[in-house]
Structure formats: structure tokens, C-alpha cells
Homo-oligomer: A and B are copies of this chain.
């Protein structure tokens, strides 16, 4: 019985995330970005230039994923990679073009996210966050 509940929950989770990603990608396509590229831009805006490791650790993604996405973004003129003090590191910065576009994209994303979150009250959003944080939280978190 409770197994069924759990199944449903995970099924629902997957569906929702796909739906949301799709929606966000759709909005971002007007700006020539994809969801995960945007998440990197957002990260860079928030923290300033940062190392690739810092990025993938923050996004909770594996290193090769970030390497690949950054390559695309570099090719498309969103970011540049500079060599760090430690010569193994590559420090990622937004290009001037990216900085100029940031506000508009941010606005658009806020818009969709607000729409999608609209059926929920502020308290519900907080509660949802709380429940999600509990879900799948093994010891080390």
C-alpha cells in the first residue's frame, strides 16, 4: 500500500521535472539557451568567475557534464575559460555579451517559474522545499 504511494510519488516527480524543464527550455530557446546552460550562467552571475569544479559541485552534476556544456557555451559566446593560478584549473567567466543579455533572460525565466509556481502559496512552496529536502536524504546531507 505504502509502496504504491511511493511509486506514484517518484513517477509524479519525474513527470513534473520533465514538464518543467520542457517549459523552461521553451522560454530559453528565444534567447539561444538551454536549461542547464542557463543554470551555469545564473551561477556565474551569483558567484562571479569560478572554477569548473566549483560549478559542478554547486549544481550537483558530474564533471564531464559541465565540461561538455561549457564547451558549447564557449562556442556560442556565453563564457570564456581562463587558466587559473593552479594550471590544472580553468576559471569560467561570463562574456560581456552574456552579461548584457542576463537581465532579459533572468526576467523571462522568473516569469515562467512564477507562472508554474502560481498555484502554490508561499507557505506551500516553503513546505514543498522542506519535503523535497527530506526525500532521499541519506546520512551525508
Binding site for B on A (CB under 8 A): 2-3, 5-21, 23-24, 39, 42, 59-61, 110, 113-114, 116-117, 119-120, 122, 124-129, 131-137
When C-beta atoms are compared, the residue in chain B nearest to A13 turns out to be B17
When C-beta atoms are compared, the residue in chain B nearest to A141 turns out to be B19
Interface of A is mostly: helix
The number of times this chain is found in the oligomer is 2
> Could you tell me if B113 and A6 are in contact, using CB atoms closer than 8 angstroms?
yes
Query: Which residues of B sit under 8 angstroms from A3, Cβ to Cβ?
Result: 110, 113-114
Bound: A127/B19 CA distance, A: 20
Query: Which residues of B sit under 8 angstroms from A131, Cβ to Cβ?
Result: 120, 124, 127-128, 131
Query: Which residues of B sit under 8 angstroms from A114, Cβ to Cβ?
Result: 2-3, 6
When C-beta atoms are compared, the residue in chain B nearest to A18 turns out to be B60
